[in-house]
């Protein structure tokens, strides 16, 4: 099962506001600070967060730089409700097709959400939302099996090999600017699964990552 209308409150009940399996720091705040440093977001930028959870990543990035403007995108009515309660800007939509105006953002980010969609469609939509020179910030996993997709049925999530992502990016007018594998922490997610009988039931006890975490920037060049 993968249903964030149901699962969101389970994350929150266990003290998690960022719905990611890996972090760049021990705490959510440390993770966001390191992420902000690695990406180097420019001041006054508009950032579209595709698959935003409850909008916590955007909120933490604004703590790093209050000039950043965040547009959250989720297809979960429950998450949309929570973000609106917090006063955040949220679009309730499938992130393959958001219906937002073109060219509105300097960054579009996917934080362990890319595998819920189709690479060609996601990157076409992300490119449409970007101004020229803007970047897709992609945080996901390189599958352990070289050059092959990996589909994790219990999460309905697909890991795409890098060459497929780069090819889909090129079709969308995006070019790989940089890619790296920062040090990651996983303890928080392992503990969450150990403590949550519901998550073990919903995901058949499967909480292991299926690939190597990476962070990449894809720049819009046309």
Average pLDDT over residues 185-206: 91
Contacts of 181 (CB under 8 A, 6+ apart): 212, 213, 214, 215
The answer to whether residue 192 scores a pLDDT higher than 70 is: yes
Reduce the DSSP state of residue 141 to 3 states and report it.
strand
Q: How many domains does the chain have?
A: 1
Residue 61: give the domain boundaries. Answer: 4-220
Among 39, 36, 37, 15, which residue's Cα sits nearest to residue 27?
15
pLDDT at residue 147 in the model? 86
Reduce the DSSP state of residue 108 to 3 states and report it.
strand
Among 23, 2, 40, which residue's Cα sits nearest to residue 188?
23
pLDDT tens by residue, 29-59: 999 999 999 999 999 999 999 999 999 999 9
pLDDT tens by residue, 77-91: 999 999 999 999 999
Listed range (31-45, 55-69, 206-220) with the worst mean pLDDT: 206-220
The CATH number of whichever domain residue 121 belongs to comes to: 3.40.50.150
pTM, rounded to two decimals: 0.96
Furthest C-alpha separation in the chain: 48
pLDDT at residue 8 in the model? 97
Average pLDDT over residues 152-175: 94
Q: What is the 3-state secondary structure (H, E, C) of 155-210?
A: CCEEECCHHHHHHHHHHCCEEEEEEECCCCECHHHHHHHHHCHHHHHHCCCCCCCC
């Amino acid at each position: 099962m993968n249903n964030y209308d149901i699962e969101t409150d389970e994350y929150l009940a266990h003290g998690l506001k960022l719905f990611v399996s890996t972090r760049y720091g021990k705490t959510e705040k440390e993770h966001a600070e390191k992420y902000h440093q690695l990406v180097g977001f420019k001041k006054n930028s508009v950032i579209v967060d595709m698959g935003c959870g409850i909008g916590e990543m955007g909120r933490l990035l604004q703590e790093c730089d209050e000039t950043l403007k965040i547009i959250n995108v989720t297809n979960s009515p429950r998450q949309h409700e929570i973000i609106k309660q917090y006063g955040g800007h949220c679009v309730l939509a499938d992130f393959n097709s958001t219906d937002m105006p073109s060219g509105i953002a300097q960054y579009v980010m996917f934080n362990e959400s890319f595998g819920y969609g189709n690479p060609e469609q996601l990157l076409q939509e992300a490119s449409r939302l970007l101004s020229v020179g803007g970047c897709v910030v992609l945080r996901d996993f390189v599958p352990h099996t070289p050059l092959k997709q990996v589909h994790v049925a219990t999460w309905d999530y697909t890991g795409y090999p890098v060459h497929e992502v780069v090819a889909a990016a090129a079709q969308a007018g995006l070019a790989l600017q940089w890619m790296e594998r920062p040090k990651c922490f996983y303890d928080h997610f392992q503990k969450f699964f150990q403590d949550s009988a519901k998550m073990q039931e919903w995901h058949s006890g499967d909480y292991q990552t299926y690939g190597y975490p990476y962070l990449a920037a894809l720049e819009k060049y046309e």
